[in-house]
Amino acid sequence: MEPILGIDFGTTNSAVAIFSKGRPVTIPNEFGGQIIPSAVYIADNGDIYVGESAKNVGILHVDSTVLSVKREMGTGVNHFINGKNYTPEMIASFIFETLRKTAEHKSGRGIKKAVVTVPAYYDDKKRQATRKAAQLAGLEVVRIVNEPTAAAMAYGVMSDREGRVLVFDLGGGTFDVSILNIKGGVFEVLATRGDTRLGGNDFDRKIVEVLVERFMDETEIDLRKDKFALQKVYEEAEKAKKTLSDQRIVEIEIPFIAADESGPLHLTTKFTRYEFEELITGYIEKTLRLTKTALRDAKLTPEDIDMFLFVGGSTRIPIVRKNLKNLFNKEPEGSVSPDEVVALGAAVQGAVMSGRIHKIALVDVTPLGLGVEKEGGAMVNMIKRNAVLPTEASAIFTTVQDYQKAVIIHVLQGERPNVSDNISLGSFRLDGIRKASKGVPKIEVKFEIDVSGIVRVSAKDLDTRCEYSVKLDQASGLSEEEISAVITDARVSELEDLQFNSERQGQV
C-alpha cells in the first residue's frame, strides 16, 4: 500500500507524520525534533535552507528569509529575494519539500501523496494556494483536512474515547475552534469558528511595541528603524512570552542592540505575566467569544461538552488555559502533544484513504458560506456556513438585456450582507448565451464545495442544455497580472452591456 503522509503546515512550525504499525507517528527531523520551524532562507547563490538553519541564519539575513509564509497563502504578497520573485506558494513549497524528503529519508522510499491540514477558517483561495504549494513540492494532496478536525481524529484514535469534543486551536498565526461528535468511529464536525489572523505572532508584536517604546523613552532611539535590531527584539519578545507561561516575571536583556555617541546600548527591562495578559486581553476575549458562538452554532452549552483539547503552542499561555477550564469546568485532555496532534490526525486520515484503517469516517463542514453578488452590492447566500461537506447549490440566472451574449457572476465566500465584507473568490464570465429577449434564457449556475473545502462552479443553459465550464479566476493559478487583466476586462464588460439578474429562482 502506498503510504500517505500527514502534513501540518504551520505558521511557526510544521510537522509530518505517517501511519505505521497501527498508529500515527511523527517523523523526526535531522536534529531529532518532531517539528521544524516554517522558516525559509534563500542564500545569494540560490541555495535554499528550511527549518532550524533558516531560522538561525534569518536573524542576519532578514531580507532573504521568510517567516510565517502561511499568513500570506492565497494573497498577492510576493517576496523579491536576490533578484528573483517568489510567491507564497513557492516559499511554502520549499517547506513541503523538506517534509517530504524527511519522510522519504526515514522510510527509504519515494512518497507522492499527502493529506494536508489547514486552519478550519481558511477560505477557498488559501486552500487552493496550500494545495498548489504541496504540488510544487511533488506531492499530490489527496485531501485537505481542517486542523482542529485532524486534532480530534488523532485524539479519538489514540485515546479511543467518544463523545462531544471541543478543539481549541491557538497557534502562531491562526485561531480555530471546532466542536465534534465522535461516535462509532464517525468524526462529525458540528460547528467551527475562527480567525485566520489571530495568534502568537500578534502577542509577540504587542510585547515588541512595549519594548521599543521603553527603549525609546530611555535613549530616544527608535529600534523600528533598524530591521536587524527589530528582528532581534522580536526573537527576545517571543522568548519572554514563552518564559511567562512558566514564570510570573521575566528579565529581558538584549545587549548591543544599538549605539550612540556614548557607545553601545543595551535593552534591559522586566516584564510581568500580568502586564502581558493586559496586553493581549482583546485577543483572548475574541477567542472566548468565538468559542461561545461555535457552541451556539452547534446548539450546545458548555455543559454538553464531554472533553476539550488544546492544540497549538499558544494554548500553553496560562490565561488561555484558565479561561477554558472555567468555561467548561473541567481539565483539558492532555494525552497527545499539542505540537504533533494535527500532523498525527492528518496521518490518520491518510491511513483511512490508503485503506489501512477502515472503521473511521470523517464528516466535516464548511466554515464559510458561499454566494454571489447581486446588483447593488449585496450578497445572495447560496450555501450556508457549517453545511456538511461535500455540498452543492444551484440558482437560475437570466439576462437583463435583449440579445445579451454573456453574464458575469461574482463568487463570494463569507456570510456578511455587504459584498465588500466578504472574500471575493473571483468573477467569471459566461459566454455563448442563446440569442433571446431579456429574461428568457435560463442559466443554471451550480456551486460545489468538495470534502477538502475546495469550491467548483459550473453553468448550464437549461434551454439548449449547453454546459459551460467555468473556473474561478483567482483560484486558477494565473499570475497576478493575468488575474487583474481578467477582472478589469470583466468590469468593463459589465459596464457596457453585461449585467446579470440575480433574482434567484432555484432552490439553494
Report, as residue numbers or ranges, the catalytic residues: 8, 70, 147, 169
Instruction: State the nearest-atom distance from the C-beta of 454 to ligand AMP, in Å.
Output: 23
Residue from the set 119, 171, 414, 441 that interacts with ligand AMP by CB under 6 A: 171
Instruction: State the nearest-atom distance from the C-beta of 234 to ligand AMP, in Å.
Output: 10
Q: Which of residues 196-215 bind ligand AMP (CB under 6 A)?
A: 200-201
Residue from the set 71, 232, 241, 460 that interacts with ligand AMP by CB under 6 A: 241
E strand or H helix at 492 = helix 480-496
Cell numbers given for 253: 536583556
9 closest CA partner among 343, 316, 309? 343
**What's the burial of 334, exposed, middle or buried (CB within 10 Å: 0-12/13-18/19+)?**
exposed
The CA angle 91-92-95, to the nearest 5 degrees, is 105
Residue from the set 58, 156, 313, 453 that interacts with ligand AMP by CB under 6 A: 313
Contact between 317 and ligand AMP by CB under 6 A: the answer reads yes
Residue from the set 24, 156, 172, 426 that interacts with ligand AMP by CB under 6 A: 172
Instruction: State the nearest-atom distance from the C-beta of 29 to ligand AMP, in Å.
Output: 14
Residue from the set 312, 350, 369, 371 that interacts with ligand AMP by CB under 6 A: 312
Q: Which stretch binds ligand AMP (CB under 6 A): 186-194, 237-245, 356-364, 370-378?
A: 237-245
Q: Which one, 11 or 366, has the nearer CB to ligand AMP?
A: 11
E strand or H helix at 350 = helix 341-353
How many chain residues interact with ligand AMP (CB under 6 A)? 17
Instruction: State the nearest-atom distance from the C-beta of 247 to ligand AMP, in Å.
Output: 11
Is 239:208 a contact under the CB 8 Å cutoff? no
> What does the alpha-carbon distance between residue 126 and residue 138 come to, in Å, rounded to a whole number?
19
> What does the alpha-carbon distance between residue 415 and residue 423 come to, in Å, rounded to a whole number?
9
Residue from the set 10, 88, 367, 453 that interacts with ligand AMP by CB under 6 A: 10
Ordered alpha helix ranges (H), 121-226: 124-136, 147-159, 200-219
Place of cell 527509504: 108
Q: Which one, 249 or 361, has the nearer CB to ligand AMP?
A: 249
> What does the alpha-carbon distance between residue 40 and residue 42 come to, in Å, rounded to a whole number?
7
Partner residues linked to 267 by β-bridges: 254
Instruction: State the nearest-atom distance from the C-beta of 115 to ligand AMP, in Å.
Output: 18
Residue from the set 61, 242, 405, 434 that interacts with ligand AMP by CB under 6 A: 242
Instruction: Tell me 121's DSSP state.
Output: T
> What does the alpha-carbon distance between residue 294 and residue 200 come to, in Å, rounded to a whole number?
21
Query: Using CB under 6 A as the criterion, which residues of the chain lie in contact with ligand AMP when the complex forms?
Result: 10-13, 171-172, 200-201, 238, 241-242, 245, 312-314, 316-317
